[in-house]
Amino acid sequence: MISSGLVKVIEGTTELLVPEAFCKKGPGTRTGEVFYNKQMEFGRDVSVMFGRAVFKDGDKILDGLAASGARGLRLANETGVRADFVLNDRNLSAAVLMKENASANSLDHVRVMCKDLRALLAEEQFDYIDVDPFGTPIDFVNAAVQNCRNKGTVAITATDTAPLYGTYPRTSLRRYGALSARSPFAHETGLRILVGFLVREAARHDRACEPLLCYHTDHYFRCYVRIVNGAARADAAIKKLGFAHFDKASLERSVLVERSDKADAGPMWTGPLLSGELLEDMIASKDLGTSVRCEKYMTLWNEEASAPALFYKLDELAKRTKHSPPKLQAMVAKLIESGFKASRTHFDPKGLKTDAPIGDFLQLFKEC
Ligand SMILES: C[S@@+](CC[C@H](N)C(=O)[O-])C[C@H]1O[C@@H](n2cnc3c(N)ncnc32)[C@H](O)[C@@H]1O
């Protein structure tokens, strides 16, 4: 029998009891009830695919801010790995509900805890630490990068998108130690600022943070990063921090290695956000109920994995050249035919990444 005020939802092959008035879309609000957001199902599907590709038997896997247990229980139920799964939330009602949800899925071996995540991380280390907070992850990043085992993964969500997009640059500076800026590619600089922050936080502990799968979708940023011991590796990661410059007159965007008067946003991560190797493994392990969206993103991420930083929007070029925009695929093909790198991007349905200098790009755009 379902307790009053709860309803059953199914994600993947996992059944979950969640509050009746659960959030259907957007970042949601703190209601005092146990939190559940249906729109984040896609993000949890991606977590399951990530877990299938990366987790090993015997790993210690932590869903640190677990609420109903949706993500952690799906990882325990759907990755097929015999690991030590730990679900934690400091809200007692959440801990009670996740225990009930664990039993309903015959996952009684899952450990349910009710602690402040920072206190838990001061006591135990894990191979995978999931941090999915309300808003900014800032409170938990240091504890997570410090208490992740060598070569383990930290997975972080940030829904404080407005500071990172450049709407509130001073908030970004306070929280992430980096200036954000509005631009047509602000979703990408926002994500890169967040990754850059993770890199700097890990480096404080002589650890390198290596991005595996970092993306933006809906109302949030999500970063899966590998944490590796070593001061030299940490230094190498720090060397990949830089700044973004946007020349509104020419539409040129560039990555600056050093801080200068031209820097509009940063410091931020300037290296790859996506690992092609990981994506191959994830694609090989797919098989999900909601796979249409996953498939779309996997294809886009795979295309984008080796693309240069800072994307363009076709609309920007159309406005500048007063030519109507060509089909995205046709423009990508034309750039590649002309000897440049080019790919679509998951950041924007009309977005494109290329290493073509802006002059060549504008010319090819008009010809396309
Ligand atoms: C956005 S919800 C997590 C959603 C969940 N991961 C999911 O996929 O459905 C954030 C949760 O973090 C919990 N929380 C907030 N601060 C915490 C802390 N310091 N330690 C442990 N849990 C905390 C809240 O009670 C809330 O349930």
Distance 78 CA to ligand 1 centre (A): 21
Phi, psi of 225 (to 5 degrees): -130, 145
Q: Are residues 202 and 283 in the same domain?
A: no
Distance 133 CA to ligand 1 centre (A): 5
Q: Are residues 21 and 156 in the same domain?
A: yes
The residue to mutate among 89, 132, 219, having the most atoms of ligand 1 within 8 angstroms of its beta carbon, is 89
Please give the tally of structural domains in the chain.
2
Q: Are residues 22 and 128 in the same domain?
A: yes
Structure token pair of residue 89: 């939330």
Query: Given 278, 312, 335, which residue is the final one in a domain?
Result: 278
Q: Are residues 271 and 159 in the same domain?
A: yes
Assess if residue 157 is contained within a domain. yes
Q: Is 71 in the pocket of ligand 1 (CB under 6 A)?
A: yes
Assess if residue 217 is contained within a domain. yes
Give the residue ranges of the chain where pLDDT is below 70: 1-2, 22-32, 286-290
Distance 86 CA to ligand 1 centre (A): 14
134-138, long-range: CB within 8 Å, 24+ apart, which pairs?
134/27, 134/28, 134/30, 134/35, 134/159, 135/27, 135/159, 135/160, 136/160, 136/163, 136/175, 138/175, 138/176
Q: Exposed, middle or buried by CB within 10 Å (0-12, 13-18, 19+), for 20? A: exposed
Return the amino acid letter for 167: T
Distance 141 CA to ligand 1 centre (A): 14
Q: Which residues of 316-333 are buried (b: 16+ CB within 10 A; e: fewer)?
A: bbeeeeeeebbebeebbe
Protein residue with its CA nearest to atom 4 in ligand 1: 67
Q: Are residues 76 and 167 in the same domain?
A: yes
Q: Is 212 in the pocket of ligand 1 (CB under 6 A)?
A: no
Q: Are residues 70 and 93 in the same domain?
A: yes
Q: Is 155 in the pocket of ligand 1 (CB under 6 A)?
A: no
Q: Are residues 51 and 194 in the same domain?
A: yes
Query: Given 278, 309, 339, which residue is the final one in a domain?
Result: 278
Query: Given 278, 311, 328, which residue is the final one in a domain?
Result: 278
Distance 286 CA to ligand 1 centre (A): 27
Neighbouring residues of 81: CB distance < 8 A, sequence distance ≥ 6: 51, 52, 55, 56, 57, 59, 61
CATH number where 82 lies:
3.40.50.150
Q: Which residues of 165-180 are buried (b: 16+ CB within 10 A; e: fewer)?
A: bbeebeebeebbebbb
For the chain, give the longest Cα–Cα distance: 66
Structure token pair of residue 72: 């952690």
Q: Are residues 18 and 69 in the same domain?
A: yes
Q: Are residues 161 and 249 in the same domain?
A: yes
Distance 116 CA to ligand 1 centre (A): 10
Q: Which position has the token pair 């060509």? A: 326
Asked if 77 and 254 count as a contact pair (C-beta separation under 8 A), the reply is: no
Assess if residue 184 is contained within a domain. yes
Q: Are residues 134 and 253 in the same domain?
A: yes
Assess if residue 306 is contained within a domain. yes
**Closest Cα to residue 213, out of 294, 129, 276, 145?**
276
Print the domain residue range for 253. 6-278
Q: Is 89 in the pocket of ligand 1 (CB under 6 A)?
A: yes
Alpha-carbon distance 57 to 125, whole Å?
A: 16
Protein residue with its CA nearest to atom 6 in ligand 1: 66
Q: Are residues 315 and 361 in the same domain?
A: yes
Distance 67 CA to ligand 1 centre (A): 5
Asked if 224 and 212 count as a contact pair (C-beta separation under 8 A), the reply is: yes
Assess if residue 20 is contained within a domain. yes
Q: Is 65 in the pocket of ligand 1 (CB under 6 A)?
A: yes
Q: Is 219 in the pocket of ligand 1 (CB under 6 A)?
A: no
Assess if residue 1 is contained within a domain. no
Q: pLDDT, tens digit, for every residue of 86-135?
A: 999 999 999 999 999 999 999 999 999 999 999 999 999 999 999 999 99
Q: Is 41 in the pocket of ligand 1 (CB under 6 A)?
A: no
Q: Is 117 in the pocket of ligand 1 (CB under 6 A)?
A: yes
Distance 83 CA to ligand 1 centre (A): 22
Neighbouring residues of 151: CB distance < 8 A, sequence distance ≥ 6: 226, 227, 228
Q: Are residues 245 and 292 in the same domain?
A: no
Alpha-carbon distance 258 to 268, whole Å?
A: 11
| pLDDT for 23 | 67
Q: Is 94 in the pocket of ligand 1 (CB under 6 A)?
A: yes
CATH number where 346 lies:
3.30.56.70
Alpha-carbon distance 200 to 248, whole Å?
A: 30
